[in-house]
Structure 1
Amino acid sequence: MQLKWIDDLLVLERTRSFSRAAELRYVTQSALSRRIRALEDWAGAQLVDRNTYPLALTPAGATFCETARQAADLLTEARATLHRESTLPDRTLDIVAGHTLSLAFLPDWLTRCRQRFGSFHARVSAANVIDAVVALAEGQCDLMLGYHHPRVPVSLDADRFLSLSVGSDTLIPVSVPTSRGRPLYPVPDPADLADAHGTPFLAYSPNTTLGRVVGSVLDARDAHRGLIRCYESDMAMLLLKMAVEGHGLAWLPLSTAAEALSDGALVHAGDASWQASLEIRAYRPAASANATLLELWRMLAAPEQMDAAMAKTAKTADSAAPIGCFA
């Protein structure tokens, strides 16, 4: 029996849909169905009633879920504790963050947390959203930082994981400028798409959070057909480099593009209607024995204290805080 089978069943219990559960578990529907049947074979009982719509758990499945949820929490926390005690010093947080956040947001955020909270060790790993969610779900880290957008929710069980907002950012279209300071690759006007030849588009990989957010922006304006996908990456920093070198139009977090916009290497390629607001969220297990994590979380959950700390820092800092540090 594999622990991920239990997570599959718990998500299925919550969504009551194989297709939605498969999406949240980042597997195909057929793969999820096979794993649920494997769990039923292991348990020796039918756990899901597939003859109802929406589907429901059998009485045996409901009983199993209750016990399995507690067991999964205990095993995940035990694994995290053993990992922490064997590899990390005291007062330590093991953090996984998205590639973009690990570069543009996390260093300054950790500095400000230490100013308010005191010294602590942080071991940081950068990962794509799928690997970051898996790392948190399997107890491989104490804290996960990721972008959140209403149309692209992070697939974590709300009963097992807590989240709160720690910052904000804005996804904006950018391009190198012409000699007159206009965008060389402006966002195509939907009204002119019939006559357009297509704009070179520097895109995110489809399974990334930023890629799905950009997709929702383009879907709302039916603008996909005006773009020619010429480059793809799951890292905003790589798209930034390609954009600055003049290879096409890109959507970048403002925190990532701020320096290039300031020195004129890039300009805005569309108005505010082509932008998307992003929330930066921290996620942690609801059950955790890491005292440092629990103390830091209490501080983060008290925005008035954080506001006071930030105001004090702003008075003594040589420069303003980077965009997106705290909401």
Structure 2
Amino acid sequence: MDIKWIEDFLSLAVTRNFSRSAEHRNVTQPAFSRRIRALEAWIGVELVDRSTYPLSLTPAGKLFNDTAAEAIRMLHDARDQLNSVHTAKNMLRVAAGHSLALSFFPEWLSRVKRQSAGEISARITATNVHDSVLSLTAGECDLLLCYHHPQLPILLDPEQYEFLVVGAERVLPVTAPGATGAPAFQLPGGKDKPVAALSYPNASFFGRVVELILANAPRTAYLKSDYESDMAELLKRMTQNGLGLAWMPERIVARELEDGKLLRAGTQEWSLDLEIRLFRSLLNKRPALTRLWDELAQPARS
């Protein structure tokens, strides 16, 4: 049983609407519905009467609602108390996607620490974009580090959250060299000879990035995908092993491109530029966070 299921149920008990609660919880409606079903399966009884409009809670749901609300309150109180005891005064909690956590965050933090007027400590949690956003909205982290593109926005209320642009990234297709030294796989491929491609799940951020690249490209790409992963580092290793081309954040493959161990598998039309953004909640008044944010925002104001 996941605590998020209980929080989903408490939201549903308030809105009495699956669509509104799914939007509030930053999750798709099908996924939200599955989580409510999973909670009901774990408890062993139906909590929601779906035959009414608006929906209502079953007698068991009403009983569970009171218990769940108190349990969540106690858990959050305990978490806040433990964090205040065990989290160092200047320790900032950062949530980031796996690629940013590996390829961007270490160098960025070193640069920030050199330029900062005070001590900075950070604890980073590497996860997917969806869970990173939930971590920020649930108050489980101080900072969210993520990619951004106007056509692939992170939907956070600007009245509650603000951001700074802290970097840029280019996503481009790469491949291992072939026997002749030329790219082993090259875009766009042909209808009769599609290119082997290593792909991301459609619902993942990089999956949507690749989808956007293909949609905006002036030519049709013919791809054949037999391998899929939501981890760019894994697809990079598979690309190096000659299993196909893959779209990668340039930072992850910069050394391999320089050494010739990987080659570009297409021209600029098959690439996409992204911003790297840092988000924080306006309600988070931790002194260490406020000081860091003011220091980071200063160049933008000058």
The whole-number CA distance in structure 2 between the counterparts of 1:83 and 1:278 is: 37
Residue 126 (1) aligns with residue 122 (2)? no
Q: Secondary structure at the match of 1:212?
A: helix
SS where residue 301 of structure 1 aligns? helix
Q: Which residue of 2 aligns with 1:93?
A: 92
Cα distance in 2 for residues equivalent to 1:146 and 1:245 = 29
Question: Identical aligned pairs, as a percentage?
Answer: 34
- Determine which of 257, 263, 268 is the counterpart of 1:261: 257
**Residue equivalent to 1:313:** none
CA drift of 1:27 comes to 3.4
| Cα distance per residue 1:115-161 (max 9 Å; x no partner) | 11132221111001111111111111111111111221113222222
Measure the CA separation in 1 of the matches of 2:120 and 2:142: 13
Task: Give, as a single letter, the amino acid of the residue that structure 2 aligns with 1:188.
Answer: P
Alignment partner of 1:182 is 2:182: yes
Which residue is equivalent to 1:315? none
> How do residues 125-274 of structure 1 correspond to structure 2 at under 5 angstroms?
125-189=125-189, 193-194=190-191, 196-221=192-217, 226-274=222-270
Structure-2 change in CA distance of 1:137 and 1:227 (3 Å)? same
> SS of the counterpart of 2:255?
helix
* Aligned positions, number: 270
Runs of 5+ consecutive residues of structure 2 not aligned to the other structure: 38-47, 56-73
For normalisation by structure 1, the TM-score amounts to 0.70
Paired with 1:141 and 1:81, the residues of 2 have a C-alpha distance of 12
SS across alignment from 1:89: coil
Residue 65 of structure 2 is matched in structure 1 by none
Equivalent position SS for 1:281: strand
Displacement of 1:264: 0.6
Q: Which residue of 1 aligns with 2:275?
A: 279
Report if the CA contact (8 A) 2:214-2:221 is conserved.
no
Does residue 109 (structure 1) correspond to residue 105 (structure 2)? The answer is: no
Deviation at 1:94, TM superposition (A): 0.7
Q: How far 1:262 sits from its partner (Å)?
A: 0.8
Structure 1 segments unaligned to the other structure (5+ residues): 48-74, 308-327
Q: Aligned to 1:239, what secondary structure does the other structure show? A: helix
What secondary structure, in the 3-state scheme, does the structure 2 residue paired with 1:111 have? helix
Contact kept, 8 Å, 1:80 with 1:140, in 2: the verdict is: no
The CA deviation at 1:81 is 4.8
Classify 1:109/1:227 alpha carbon distance in 2 versus 1 (closer, same or farther; 3 Å).
same
Amino acid of the structure 2 residue aligned with 1:129: V
Mapped to 1, the partners of 2:134 and 2:13 lie a distance apart of: 16
Amino acid at match of 1:95: V
Give the residue type in structure 2 aligned to 1:136.
L
Single out whichever of 214-223 and 128-137 deviates more from structure 2: 214-223
Query: In structure 2, the residue corresponding to 1:28 is in which secondary structure?
Result: helix
State the Cα distance separating 1:25 from its structure 2 match.
Answer: 2.3
Q: Is the 8 Å Cα contact of residues 201 and 230 (structure 2) preserved in structure 1? A: yes
The TM-score with structure 2 as length reference comes to: 0.76
Aligned to 1:51: none
Residues 2/87 of structure 1: CA separation in 2 closer, same or farther (3 Å cut): same
8 Å CA contact 2:8–2:21 kept in 1: the answer is: no
Does the 8 Å contact 1:208/1:234 carry over to 2? yes
